[in-house]
Amino acid sequence: MRKSAFFIAGIALGVFLAKQVESNPDAKKAFDSATAKVKEFSNAVATGFKEQEAKVSNSARKASTSSTKRSPSTANRAR
């Protein structure tokens, strides 16, 4: 019951703030600026994550291909 009250209060507060931002041009500019900064930051994080994932993937591929190749002496012993 308490969680639902907080949820409803959060929705009401969000609606109130949205109306205040729409009616105040300075607040709208600040909100738009903050939104742009958050999008820029999230894009930078996503790019960094993808670069790091590619590095790990490439190093894992190199390690798996080098460990699965047999040397000629090992190949002869396996037969």
In a domain, 14, yes or no: no
* CA angle centred on 29, ends 43 and 24, rounded to 5°: 140
Rounded CA separation 54/60 (Å)? 10
Question: What six digits make up the tokens of 34?
Answer: 């903050």
Sequence-distant (6+) residues with CB within 8 A of 78 are 70
Looking at the structure of the chain, the number of domains it has is 1
Sequence-distant (6+) residues with CB within 8 A of 70 are 78
The alpha-carbon radius of gyration of the chain (Å, integer) is 28
In a domain, 17, yes or no: no
In a domain, 40, yes or no: yes
Query: pLDDT means per 10 residues in the chain (79 residues)?
Result: 93 92 88 94 97 88 67 56
Q: Is the pTM of this model over 0.85?
A: no
In a domain, 8, yes or no: no
User: Domain limits at 49?
Assistant: 25-66
